[in-house]
């Protein structure tokens, strides 16, 4: 299975029988190198479980990818595997498109012969990006005063900071 470019990710409706059909693809990294695409520089695993109910298709799409993130504490790059999931319902019924549902509803037209997956793969990847990224739980971050990476070395600032902070507290009077 050779990796596909994002715009080659599509499923022909003729290949989807009534019931559940599963598809698996490997995608090249996204070409959007300016934005979020910078995060994902390796191959992306895409699996799609299509549940066909007559002429409606429920797509359950999952992505797995290794991302390069910047640690919120120490500012260093680190690798982290993420998983994302998006569900879309493809239907011919216009009014369903306005219904309240957890699934994203898209309209099929008589000329729809294949379902493009590019947008859903991108959405699933973006959803998979963690809001907070820390290289490891024990990351000690940077010194707020001198900027030293405290994972690598211990600077002298901390001792001074602690001293002056406790000095201030010592002067408070409790009644
Ligand atoms: Zn870190
Ligand atoms: Zn310091």
The pLDDT assigned to 140 comes to 95
117 and 149 belong to one structural domain: no
121 and 50 belong to one structural domain: yes
For the chain, residues with pLDDT lower than 50 are none
Is residue 48 a contact partner of residue 26, using CB atoms and an 8 Å limit?
no
25 and 94 belong to one structural domain: yes
Ligand nearest to the CA of 161: 2
The pLDDT assigned to 142 comes to 95
**Residue 150 C-alpha to ligand 2 middle, in angstroms?**
8
26 and 92 belong to one structural domain: yes
**Residue 118 C-alpha to ligand 2 middle, in angstroms?**
46
133 and 158 belong to one structural domain: no
Structural domain containing residue 149: 142-175
120 and 172 belong to one structural domain: no
**Residue burial 68-97, b: 16+ Cβ < 10 Å; e: rest:** ebebebbeeeeebebebebbbbbbeeeeee
The pLDDT assigned to 173 comes to 57
Ligand nearest to the CA of 73: 1
**Residue 151 C-alpha to ligand 1 middle, in angstroms?**
8
């Amino acid at each position: 299975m050779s990796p596909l470019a994002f715009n080659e990710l599509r499923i022909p409706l003729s290949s989807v029988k009534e019931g559940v059909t599963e598809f698996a693809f490997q995608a090249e990294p996204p070409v959007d190198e300016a934005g979020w695409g910078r995060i994902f520089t390796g191959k992306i695993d895409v699996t799609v479980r299509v549940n066909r109910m007559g002429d409606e298709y429920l797509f359950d799409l999952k992505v797995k990818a290794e991302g390069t993130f910047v640690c919120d504490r120490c500012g260093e790059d680190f690798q982290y595997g993420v998983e994302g999931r998006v569900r879309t319902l493809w239907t011919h019924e216009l009014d369903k498109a306005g219904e309240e549902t957890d699934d994203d509803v898209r309209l099929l037209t008589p000329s729809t012969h294949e379902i493009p997956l590019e947008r859903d793969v991108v959405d699933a990847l973006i959803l998979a990006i963690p809001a907070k990224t820390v290289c490891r739980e024990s990351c000690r971050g940077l010194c707020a005063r001198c900027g030293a990476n405290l994972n690598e070395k211990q600077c002298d600032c901390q001792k001074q900071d602690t001293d002056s902070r406790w000095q201030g507290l010592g002067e408070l009077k409790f009644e």
